[in-house]
Structures are given as C-alpha cells and as structure tokens.
Amino acid sequence: MTQIGKWKITAQNEDLTLKKISFTAKDDTFATDNSVGNFGSLALYDGSTKLGDCVLTLGDVVCSGLNLTIPANDFKTITLKATINSNLDEGSINAFVVKSTALADLEIQGSSGLLATSTITADNTTSTFYKFEEAVPTIASVSLGSTLNLSSNAEVFKFSVTNNGSRAMKVVTSSITMNASGLAGAGSIGTWKLWDSANNLLSVTSTSDLTSSTNSLAITFNVTSTEVTINPGETKTFTVTANTTNAMTDKTSGTITLSGSMTGNTQWNGSAWTDGSVYYQYMPYGSTSYNSTRSATKSNDSTIYGTTLVRSI
C-alpha cells in the first residue's frame, strides 16, 4: 500500500484512545473531490501496525473500529495508506484533510468518555499533496571527472533518467543550466548537443555561447526527431556536449570552470505543481496514444549539480 496522508495526534493531560477518524479528499484547488478514483482499498496505520480498514464514499474516507492509545503528553503518528488503481486518473492531484471534530467524524475516548468537539483542534489539518502518474522519471547527475577537455564535442554534463512508473515513457524535452567562469576576451563555449548512451545525436540547440560577458545559459533540448523511450524500471543516460576549442582564447593565466545543473525535486508550492527539468509523455493504462506533456521530475535534491570541470593555463 502507498502512503497518501500522514498526521500527528497529541494527547494532553491524560491517555486518549482514537476510535474513529474521517478524512476528506481535496483537489488542486482545495475543493472537495467527490470523484476521486485513484484508490482501491484503504487502511490506517500506526507505523507498520495496521489499525483498521477505511471506507471511501464519494470524497470522504471513514476509518472506524480503531483502538489506538495516545499516551498523556505524547503523540502518535497515523498514516493513511491505499492501493493505487492501475487505471488511475493520470495527472490528478489530491490531498486529504481531517474532515471535522464533530462526533460523527472523529471519536477520541478520554477517562470521562468521548471528547467534546470544543476540546479538539483538528479541522482542515492537511496532509501532503500527491500527484498521481503512471510514469515518473527520477533524474540524477553522472560524474564526468574534473578536467575540461578541449574538443568540438567535449562532454560537459551527464545525467540519468529512471522510469519509476508502470508505463513506458518518452522524453520530449530536457532543460539544463550551464555556468562558466574565467573566460577571457574572445573565449567561448557553445554548440550544445544532447546524446544518448549509444552516441546517437538527439538534439542540437541554437542557444548562444558562454562568453566572458555571458557566464550562464539556460539550454533546452527538444527531442522530437528520435523517440527516446524508457520502460518501467529502466534507466537511460544522456550526455551534453559543447564545442570548447575556443575556451582558452585570449586566456593568459588562471583557470576556466564549467558546470551544469538541472531542477530536481518538483513539489506542490501551495497553488500549483512546480515544473522539473525533464518533460515527458506516456500512454495511460488502456490508451493507445500518448498523453499531454508532463514534468513531474524528481530527485533527492531541489537542484541537481553536475561535475565542475576545470582547465588551467
């Protein structure tokens, strides 16, 4: 089962027992999602211990028949988990909130009986927003060593893409930021190209060069002439090259450094899902055509940094 929500329950003054709790599904506009359809069975957990099954009716999830003790002046963390349907509503975004503190929705037992609504603070306590896709790429930087080579196709940035979903995906575009320092006079680095691991040229950009006055460039590769497919569980590696033969022009001393980066972990920013660096498409379950372009790229870091390459004179 997959985590779809997590909350902390704190008891004050005495031991309390959670008997029932209800949640409501919200969409990306924070409206109640009565048509949420991504989930099969649902259950509530305390760590790895299952507390009980939950029932989804329209947009409400009700977990009853519970018997979770929260020690006095301590807390317990509860997790709502679900099986994800194979024919999910691709691209949908959901979060869950504690529905209310009314006795019909939340039952917490104290020494004198069920706690009154006025003694509980929980309304609209929100879980994390989750985006549901059947193909999700994870990107990672791949080391290139530390030397900036002088070549018409010098390797300057390398990254891998892993498909962690259940459907094959194809890469549509990828965006990289390249930064240089130490270029002098007419020194330049440019002619940006994207290659796959078999040295097939995938894309050439018309982006201008890095120079002594332009030390940062945002470069986008459109992969349209060749279909780059990544199957579920598969990882493919991509390399960015540049013409560095003019990098040392007019350089009389010191060093030149060159490095690349990509936007990493995408997430909910409070109003929308932030874009990543790899845009992709996939065929949803039961479909014979690719869906609209997505950009839910993720990694362990908000920015993925490539190797810093150095050339000294």
Q: Residue 255's CB: how many other CB atoms inside 10 A?
A: 12
Residue 296 has pLDDT above 60, yes or no: no
Q: Tokens 């060093």, residue?
A: 255
Query: Model pTM?
Result: 0.73
Structure tokens at 198: 């078999």
Nearest alpha-carbon partner for 15 in 111, 116, 107, 103: 111
For the stretch 46-105, pLDDT in tens is: 999 999 999 999 889 999 999 999 999 999 999 999 998 876 666 678 889 999 889 999
For the stretch 150-177, pLDDT in tens is: 999 999 999 999 988 888 888 888 889 9
Q: Where do the domains of the chain lie, and which CATH numbers do they carry?
A: 2-132 (2.60.40), 137-312 (2.60.40)
Nearest alpha-carbon partner for 96 in 73, 77, 80: 80
| CA gap 237, 166 in Å, rounded | 20
Structure tokens at 153: 């196709």
> How far is Cα of residue 60 from the mean position of the Cα atoms in its chain?
26
